Each structure stands twice: as structure tokens, then as C-alpha cells.
Amino acid sequence: MSETLAPSARTQVKRLPDRGRYDTAVVHRILDEALVCHVGFVVDGHPVVIPTIHARHGDRLYVHGSPASRTLRALSGGIEVCVTVTLVDGIVLARSAFHHSLNYRSVVVFGTAHEVSGRAEKLAAFRTLVDHVVPGRWDSVRPPSEKEIRATLVLELPLAEASAKVRTGPPLDEEADYALPIWAGELPLHMVPGPPIIDSRSAQGGAVPDHVSGWLREK
């Protein structure tokens, strides 16, 4: 049975509450499909929002970067953050300009990020981040050197305070507008990879690994 996150004052969906989702399976699935998150926080009295790669492991979310990054240094100090991801599944074309919309799946996470400091824990986080972007990639590449491990800061955020918001389906027009002779409906959007382009300095040759040729982002 899937668990449900108890909505907090910050994660309760207030506008169009019927689109709110608090099922952990839904939240995790959206986080797992998304390639980029946005991390928002306040530092030195100023709001900052940074796009970065993330990855989920169980009930934790990882982000990483350089220890020299002012952003990550601030976050590792234990300040409150808000992390968001959004997946756009389609364009919703209504009969009126007002009711045009998008079909989407989004997640908002609140919490306090902490540094992952142990060597084994950092390596596990590195693997999670690499395989999040391209599943199966970690086992085919050179592992990080000690210098690279020291040069990377990894932060983890618990997924205890989170919610999702989802819109699906056709446009929701005013009843009187349904009789208008205007095309309306949905334009589905999908992330589709193009043909792989080999690095000109690659020593491997032209064989493309299965985890590259078979790369797919699924709902």
C-alpha cells in the first residue's frame, strides 16, 4: 500500500485543490522522471533560485556541486530550502484565451538540506545522481578519484514535507463557448532523444552502449 504525505501549511494545494497529490509514489515518480530541479532559498537577505541536477534515493533528495559554490555553502549550513520540479506533458488549447493551459506534473519540497560527508555515502550519492540521468551509466565509467570526491559537495534533503500538483485532460471552457467553431484540444508533448553523437576523441569507436541507445524518460 502506498504511503501518503500529511499536507503541511506549506504543501497543501490551495488553488485548484483537486489537483493536489500527496501520495508518495506520485511524488517520487515525478522526481525520478525530472532531470532538473530548482532550489530556492534566502541568503544574505536576498532570494536565490538555482537550477541543478537532482536525484532521489528512497526518501531523500540529493543535489551536488562545487564546495566553492556560494549557493551550496549556504545550503550546507542548514538553511531552509524549497525545491521544485515541473514536467510539461502537453499544451491545452481552449476556445477562449483565458482557459488556455498546460497539462503538467509538479512537485514542491520544503526542508533543510544537510551535507553528505562520509566517503561511502558520497560515492553512493554520486552513483544515484549519474544513474538518475542515464540509468546504468555508473558501471561503465571511471569512478571518481579522491580529488574529485573532495571537489564535490553533496547535499541531501528529506522528502518528509512535499506534495505534487497534476493537471490532465482537455480544456475546461465556459459552457457557452463549447458551441463556438474553434478548434480546441490537447497537444501532447514528450521528451524524445535524438541520435547519439560520439565524442570525436572517443577511443571506444562507434559502438553505442545500450544505456545510451535505449535512453528513455517514462511517466
How is the chain split into domains, by residue range?
17-171
Supply the pLDDT for residue 66: 76
Rg of the chain taking only CA atoms, in angstroms: 21
Supply the pLDDT for residue 1: 41
Angstrom distance (rounded) from CA 72 to CA 194: 33
Angstrom distance (rounded) from CA 22 to CA 165: 9
Q: From first to last of the 219 residues of the chain, give the pLDDT tens digit.
A: 459 888 899 999 998 889 989 999 999 999 999 999 999 988 888 898 989 999 999 999 999 877 767 667 777 677 889 999 999 999 999 999 999 999 999 999 999 999 898 899 999 999 999 999 999 999 999 999 999 998 888 999 999 999 999 999 999 999 999 999 999 999 999 999 999 988 888 887 668 899 998 998 875
Supply the pLDDT for residue 86: 97
Length in residues, the chain? 219
Instruction: Write down the architecture of domain 17-171 according to CATH.
Output: Roll (2.30)
- Say whether 101 sits in a helix, a strand or coil: strand
- Say whether 52 sits in a helix, a strand or coil: strand
Cα distances from 150 to residues 49, 62, 72, 119, 122, in angstroms, run: 25, 17, 14, 9, 10
Supply the pLDDT for residue 184: 98
Supply the pLDDT for residue 68: 64
Which CB contacts under 8 angstroms, 24+ apart, belong to 181-187?
182/95, 183/93, 184/93, 184/94, 184/95, 185/93, 186/90, 186/91, 186/92, 186/93, 186/103, 187/90, 187/91, 187/93
